[in-house]
Amino acid sequence: MLFLSGGIPFASGVMEYLYNPIPPDDITRRILIKILIEKEPAIAVLHTGAPYLILTPEITDRLNYSSDNCLEQTIIRIRGDRFSGGLNRLEVRLIADTGESLAFEPLVFIPDPNQDERWNNLPLFIGIDRCLERIRFALDPLETKFYFGAIP
């Protein structure tokens, strides 16, 4: 896969990504990767400025999860709007098309129910802080490939 100088592995797996704008607000394109959250597949927007894995009401429903199950309650701001929800740890997997997959446990924001209208189809965000911070990644824009590997 990819190596640092000295032969230290940088990335151990690679997956293909999508590169599309997210309606209704985006006019520029986003990097979207497929992840497994507690084994449920989902498409997440790679957002290097965001913290945590920020679930949508839909994936929360699919996971049969609730912010009531969360360890702590919080407020998070997304594109200027405040959303209430809970924080918890869930297992997330990056599944490689080639190479090795990995599982990690980020901090996850789980929105409270009854915010669907205000949520306005915001996507699932996968951020750096408390989420991808232990994973090296690199992009190949030509091949739309997302390379990743755990930081030992």
Partner 1 sequence: MDALGLIKDLPKKTFLINYPSPIPFSGTIERRSGNNSLDMEITKWEVKPIPNQRENNINILLASSTTGSAAAYSDLSQRFTTNISFDNEMILLEKAVNTNNIKLFNTIINAIEWENMPVDTYIKTIRMALLAGNHNIARILAKAGGDKFPKHVEMRNLSVLLGPARIVKTGLPANPNEAKDITWLKENRDKYRGLWVALSCGVLIADATSYHDLIKKLDNPRGRGLLITPVY
Subset of residues 119 to 148 that bind partner 1, contact rule: CB under 8 A: 121, 123, 130-135
The gap from C-alpha 69 to its chain's centroid, in whole angstroms, comes to 20
Q: From the list 8, 27, 71, 142, which residue makes contact with partner 1 (rule: CB under 8 A)?
A: 71
Please tell me whether residue 37 binds partner 1 under the rule CB under 8 A: no
Please tell me whether residue 101 binds partner 1 under the rule CB under 8 A: yes
First to last CA, the chain: 16
Please tell me whether residue 82 binds partner 1 under the rule CB under 8 A: yes
Report the C-alpha gap between 15 and 146 in whole angstroms. 5
One-letter amino acid for residue 105 of the chain = E
Q: Which residues make beta-bridge pairs with 33? A: 44
- SS3 state of residue 59: helix
Binding site for partner 1 (CB under 8 A): 12-13, 15-18, 20-23, 30, 32, 34, 39-43, 51, 58, 61-64, 71-77, 82, 87-89, 91, 93, 95-107, 121, 123, 130-135, 150-151
